[in-house]
A and B are shown apart, each in its own frame.
Chain A
Amino acid sequence: ETGVTQSPTHLIKTRGQQVTLRCSSQSGHNTVSWYQQALGQGPQFIFQYYREEENGRGNFPPRFSGLQFPNYSSELNVNALELDDSALYLCASSGELAGRGTQYFGPGTRLLVL
């Protein structure tokens, strides 16, 4: 059984650019959640995808968008990057196999916006 994987591990972008982050969920998990973790803070919920549909969204602007694919992998897209978007972006997978509420996190993608 493979864990949650994310790519890339690190990324540097400039303000105004667009970025796509990728996540492969743990085997058998059909739900992917994305979180933003600023330095020294706890993760903040961005949104969740369940069977390719958005299933809840946190307090993030529309320039944060996502996709989930039939194999349950997922993408997080951020348009018009701002300096405050610099953070660790975490993907977590869950589903019936994981048990209700249980989420397993990937290692994250560290994004730096200059």
Chain B
Amino acid sequence: QQQVKQSPQSLIVQKGGISIINCAYENTAFDYFPWYQQFPGKGPALLIAIRPDVSEKKEGRFTISFNKSAKQFSLHIMDSQPGDSATYFCAASGSGGNEKLTFGTGTRLTIIP
């Protein structure tokens, strides 16, 4: 059973626009929500992460919005650039010991000129 649902599967955004990727989770024991960026042939790279005690976290052009009651979180990429074209994964983990990451299915983002 998939515990983290991610949408959309693919996204095309014009350069300078805002890219928005959404995730929803089911397990209320999750307490750490990172986003990873993956380029073809590379491993995922940690982009930004949030814990449920805050509703928003911003790092440069990247912002996570978190809605604990709805069990949803989203990634916003402001002023999207062609170099942002990659696959983005949301993930979640708990504090139960091994803190394994449960990933969403990924969003392939393409930024067009």
With both chains docked as a complex, state the minimum distance between the C-beta of B90 and any C-beta of chain A, in angstroms. 9
B46, CB-defined interface residue at 8 Å: yes
**Residues of B in contact with A, size category:** 20 to 34
Number of interchain pairs (Cβ within 8 Å): 66
A100 touches B32 (CB 8 A): yes
- Expressed in whole angstroms, the Cα–Cα distance for A104 and B36 within the complex equals 10
- Expressed in whole angstroms, the Cα–Cα distance for A56 and B102 within the complex equals 13
- Expressed in whole angstroms, the Cα–Cα distance for A90 and B41 within the complex equals 11
With A43-B44, A101-B95 already in contact, 5 other A-B pairs whose C-beta atoms are closer than 8 Å: A4-B43, A33-B101, A55-B97, A103-B46, A105-B44
Name A residues whose Cβ lies closer than 8 Å to a Cβ of B.
Answer: 4, 6, 33, 35, 40-45, 48, 50, 55-56, 58, 90, 92, 94, 100-108
Supply 8 A–B pairs (Cβ within 8 Å), ascending by A. Answer: A42-B106, A45-B102, A48-B100, A55-B98, A56-B100, A101-B34, A105-B45, A107-B43
